[in-house]
Amino acid sequence: MLKEDDNTPLFYDMICRFLEQEANPHYDAWEAAGQVPREFWLKLGEAGMLAIDLAEEYGGSAADFGITQLVLEEISRRGFGGLASAYNIHANIVIPYVEHLASAEQKQQWLPRMATGEVMSAIAMTEPGAGSDLANIKTRAVKVAEGWKLTGSKIFITNGMMADMVIVCAKTDPAAGAKGVSLFLVDSHLAGFSRGKPIRKIGQHASDTAELFFADMLLPADALLGEEGAGFTYLMQELPRERLGVGAQALGAMEGALALTLEYVKERTAFGQSIASFQNTRFKLAEVRAQIDMARAYFNHCVALYRQQRMNSTDAAILKLQLTEMQCQTIDQCLQLFGGYGYTLEYPISRFYVDARVQTIYAGTSEIMKEVIARSMLGK
């Protein structure tokens, strides 16, 4: 198994070459189409980039989990925010859920095909009437003779239009609050599963987002992921990695936006001199560089904690809050230096700007992150 520093440069070079060849020429078309095509996910799987830290017996590379974060960062650095979110869900969230929680039979059923891209995945928690308040979800799973009957709906599900398998969060004991939540591995090809129209968003257009419906959907008994009633505990257990992935996206996007801005201000002139020569420009760029470096230091600290299985929900909340808010602020400052050109679709900085906004919303809003941090200090 690769250690945290072994062959990282080789992985990075491979990631860069792959994205240069397979994503750069096509990304604008994917944005217009509202989805990354299946063929690309299969190519990612063939290149070994979908299950980097998954065990080899299930088709993974058994490399350090930090390489997966590096992929997320590099995708984001190139301004491919939609692809980064879709990749984060499948490779950095759902695959670890299955590897950590599933039975041996469930792992064999799903993981090898998830590693190749043959099976794409999503995770469905949010509902029209319940966002971060998972204890109040309405989707129900009831035991029946055939297994489980799933009823309800989910909204804002990344990869929802494409997913072959969805981890669905459902109530199995409505009277038990958070302790009545369970997780299910839902095969989207079964009867009773349907999708609404793709949800149109202001950014991350290449990341397909959908509303999902479960109409008295019959699931086999072995669709239950882990233990009944333990869903909320599992979600809390896996959240640190999810928020590390969001942090990696934020870092990559900030680096990419800054690089674009540096190039622009050196070339653009005003009042007979380079924009880069103005003190305001230089100070803004210095502030952005300093913020990114501070963010990276805390990100690296959290990665080290995660490797040691010591990263807790408060660490994850601080990381997610600070890096995503910083992403929005720094990219806004970068766009400002482009003047009117920054507000045009012709300049890639505009995509960095609109793609950043959702980062403070999904995986737990900034307000929820503040509540988590406050509770850790003050108690409930």
CA distance 129 to 275: 48
Contact 79, 21 (CB under 8 A): no
To the query of whether residue 146 is one of the catalytic residues in this protein, the response is: no
Residues 6+ apart with CB under 8 A from 175: none
Contact 160, 210 (CB under 8 A): yes
Helix (H, G, I), strand (E, B) or coil at 201: coil
Catalytic residue among 31, 211, 238, 242: 242
Q: How many Cα atoms are found within 13 Å in the side-chain-facing hemisphere of 62? A: 7
CA distance 190 to 379: 44
CA distance 23 to 75: 9
Contact 330, 258 (CB under 8 A): yes
Residues 6+ apart with CB under 8 A from 30: 36, 37, 40, 82, 83, 206
The two three-digit tokens of residue 153, written as one number: 């709906």
Strand partners, 166: 122, 186
Strand (E) or helix (H) holding 290: helix 279-307
Q: Write out the catalytic residue numbers.
A: 242
